[in-house]
Structure formats: C-alpha cells, structure tokens
Structure 1
C-alpha cells in the first residue's frame, strides 16, 4: 500500500512538471527510476495514464481523471504531515511568490520585511514579473496580482481594494495649467498604461468617462510614476504607489474630489489546501492591506 501511495505522488509530480526529467530533478530520483515506477503504477491500475513522446507527455482520458483525484489526495496527505509539524514549530521552508514588479518594489517590500521578521524559519524566493505565470508547472506557492484571475480553475483570494487618484508634479501644473474639471484632461499630457484612451472618474454617485492621451504610453507603473515626477504629465494610480512622491512634494493631487475605479489585489493559488507558510503569508497580507 505504501508503494502504491508513493507512486501516486510521483505520478502527480510528473504531470505537474510536464515531463519525467523535471519531475525527477524535483523529487531527487533518477529519471529511469521514475519512469519505471509510473509504468508499474499503470500496470497495477490496468490502464495507460500517459502518452509518452520524446519531447513531452500527455495525459490519457483515464490519466486526467486519475490526476484530478490523486492531486487532492497527495495534497491533503502533505498538509496533514505539515500541520502536525506546525504543532511543534513555526512554519518553515521556501515560500515562492510571484508578484508585479512595480507594485512589489514600491508598496509590498516593507510588508515582506515585516513578515520575514515574524517567521524566521521561512526563506523567500520572489519572482517579480507582470506575466501570467503557471502556478502548477512553475511551482509557485502563490501569485499576487492586481485584477481578477483569468483562470477559473485557480483560487483567487481578495487581499485589498485600491482606489486610483490623479497626480502630477508642481512643475508640470505650473507649465500646463491645472485642470478644473475632468473634461480638461483631454487637453493635458496623461500618462496611460497599456495604451488606455479613456479614464472613468467618479465623484460620489457621479461618473464620467473622459478621453485621455499624450506622448507616452507604457506598460510599467514604475516608469509612469517616474515620468510624472519628471514633469511629463498627469497619472492615475493608487495613493499607496506614489506615497513617497507625495510626501516629498514631487507629486501633488489633481482634481482631488475625483477618483478612478477601484481595483482588487488578489492572492492566486492553485488549490484551497494551503501549507502553513502560504496560509500565514496570505493572512498577514489581508490584515496589513486592510489598514
């Protein structure tokens, strides 16, 4: 029975890694041994689970069904062992997190330091990127993202809601004049992300959509923020991202009664069954970001 359960866990690793070589490296056994174990599992079950080619593996129909069942069993067994360990010690191990570059650097870095001080047994592997990572094959524990998850099979836990506001440098406003109403933004240099051509602004129950544009259209929040500080135009972004620039006077509010539409920050995981290190991390961020 023990060998059967171990082979089941190895099968799950092969599927997650999308091949025998990566799975063998992850679990620390020879590739040939791993292949032999999966073959023995298929013989025990009496069904082919994988289609093997020289470049990749594909699940058979039976393999897909078996993987969905086994994945949960293996995860629950692993968590059972970890939870027993948590009774004796704080969470430990490597926490792999994917997070947006600019938001991570400007806003989350101090929170990461605070969390690290609370849990000295945890080591950290941060991947700062804006791309949509594969939580399964790339073996991330959690991804922090702004906006909703595009994959309905993933679990998105809300952490906080951020409301963007309008900001510009004093020098830009002195040169270009200060807008008195949202419609005036059409005559200003507006620093937009992902070539946005309109901003929707709200004041209480009022809502207005205004055309915006300018010489710069970027895909980096950090670069947009920097250009605003360098007197290049007006930005629409959360207060939390530009807090240092506001404190130093490099930026100041524009049309302070108006704000953009709130955006959600999510912690994205592959499963609801979370190791203690991941659960503590998400709970910590929910508590801190709620402030």
Structure 2
C-alpha cells in the first residue's frame, strides 16, 4: 500500500474536506483531489463519494480510515522519537582504536567529549597487532596501517601519518644491524602477528622478514624491553624520542626509511548518527593535539 496515499486519505477525512486538508498539508486542492483518485485506483476500490458540498466515506473507506488513523498516529510518534537522535545526541557510542594511538591524548579527548554531551555513553576498545577487518559492532574504527586498507563497502578516510623508526639500546650499538639484510638475522622485539617490517626507498617498498623470541602487545613494554637490550624494535617516533634524548635508545639509520603508519577512520555510512558525527568532528578538531606529540 502507498503510505503517502494513505496519509493523504486519512488527513482529508480528518479535516472533513479536501480544501482544509490542502491548507494543513500545504498543497493545492486540485493536487490533493488528483492524488486521492490515484490512491483509489491503486487500491482498486472507491473510498470517498464526493459532492460539491461534502465527502461521504464508502464502506471500504470507513474501514480503511478506522484501521489506519491510529496506526499513522503511532508511526508519527515513532518518527518523532527516532528523530530525537538527530536533534539531540544520545545513546551509546562504540569506538575501536589501536593501543599504540596516543593513549593519554585519546583519554583526554574522550573525557572532554563526554563532559560536553551528557546523554552519550561511551564504549571504547583497543586492539593490538594486525589491522582488524571492518566490524559492524563499532560506530567508528580508527585503524593504523602501512599498506592500503582492503576494499570494502565501508567509508574510509585517512587522518594523519605517524612516522616510525627502528631503535636499539644505546649500550648495544656494537651488535646493531647495519643493513636491511642484517635485520633478518637479528633478534627483534615484535608485536602480535608481526613478522615483517616495511621500508621505503624512493618509490620502492622493501619487505624485510623479522624474527625474535619476545612478542609483546604493549608498545610501552616493547620500548622498555628495547632499552634493556633485548633486541631491535620498530616504534613510533613520538614514543621513542624522549628516550633517545636521554641516551637510552638510538635510532638506526639505513639507506631505506621505515614506512610510516597511516591512521584512518572507517564508518559504515555517510549518513552518520548525530552522536557519531559529533565525536568524529571532535576528534578532527583536536587532531592537532596529536600532531604536536609527533
């Protein structure tokens, strides 16, 4: 059944005339009269007997009106209730982001967001290791990746680049790898699922297999293990640089540079719920706070 036609029919009967219904709906009388006739033709039954002075419901019209008026009222209430989510942000926001992503700064951004929007609840999950596939349980997924993300029907947007380097304890420089081939044979400190490091030379990408006897999901724990001389480690520069300045770590230099991580955000539809759109805008408005840490 044509819902628009049904709404039109019920409003005409409720107002008692096509003229008054036209005033309520903001349509000319001639348009409403034509649309009512088209609705009757679609149903294959006469709903209203019209004269110049009055409208009389047929038996079929009376039954349709009685069964439809409350239903349309309920649908209107539902539409108003659902529309409230676009007028006022509320509900649970579920976000996924990598453990390596500026933990302190992300905590600040989330706290500030919740202090601004009191009707939104927040459920945040951090992941480690390999970049996860799109998952419909999350409103937004912030992903770190070196290679382009696999094609999907989700919408992806690159937000920032996070440079990395290879580091080793300064007191272990005598056994530091000198070339990429040396890296294949040295002990490396890895994260879950990590078995290769990518390096760039001009436009070429070199893939270097890595191995080691220590695998840790926490970037802070990998950093501390490197400081204690347990192997070479690939870390974001913003994490390692304070320890380089202290003399505890040294960044290794090769002809090729480690490929930077790209931070992207994924979401399912361009028609974002208000709560989701507001958080994404909040993140983008304050992404400079993350850049200042790099």
Q: Tell me the equivalent position of 2:144.
A: 146
Q: 1:160 to 1:231 in 2, by over 3 A?
A: same
Does the CA contact (< 8 Å) of 1:166 and 1:256 recur in 2?
no
1:252 matched to 2:250? The reply is yes
Q: 1:118 to 1:233 in 2, by over 3 A?
A: farther
Q: What's the C-alpha RMSD, in Å, of the aligned pairs?
A: 3.9
State the secondary structure of the residue aligned to 1:156: strand
Q: Residues 233-282 of structure 1: CA distance to partner in whole angstroms, max 9, x if unpaired?
A: 11123223445544655433221775312332222222221122211222
Equivalences for residues 1-291 of structure 1 within 5 A: 80-85=83-88, 91-103=89-101, 105=103, 108-116=106-114, 119=117, 122-130=120-128, 132=132, 135-136=135-136, 138=137, 140-147=138-145, 149-150=149-150, 152-173=152-173, 176-194=174-192, 196-202=194-200, 208-218=206-216, 221-242=219-240, 245-246=243-244, 249-255=247-253, 258-289=256-287, 291=291
Question: Shift of the alpha carbon at 1:232?
Answer: 1.0
Distance 2:254 2:119 in 1: 44
Does the CA contact (< 8 Å) of 2:120 and 2:275 recur in 1?
yes
Q: Tell me the equivalent position of 2:22.
A: none
Q: Tell me the equivalent position of 1:29.
A: none
Unaligned runs of 5+ in 2: 7-78
Q: 1:212 to 1:132 in 2, by over 3 A?
A: closer
Distance 1:106 1:247 in 2: 21
Q: 1:255 to 1:150 in 2, by over 3 A?
A: same
Does the CA contact (< 8 Å) of 2:165 and 2:234 recur in 1?
yes
Q: Residues 56-110 of structure 1: CA distance to partner in whole angstroms, max 9, x if unpaired?
A: xxxxxxxxxxxxxxxxxxxx9888544434xxxxx44432212223436366334
| TM-score of the superposed pair, with normalisation by structure 1 | 0.55
How many residues are paired up? 210
Does the CA contact (< 8 Å) of 2:168 and 2:250 recur in 1?
yes
| TM-score of the superposed pair, with normalisation by structure 2 | 0.55
Question: Shift of the alpha carbon at 1:227?
Answer: 2.0
Unaligned runs of 5+ in 1: 5-75, 86-90
Distance 2:126 2:228 in 1: 25
Distance 2:80 2:252 in 1: 54
Distance 1:233 1:226 in 2: 11
Q: Tell me the equivalent position of 2:74.
A: none
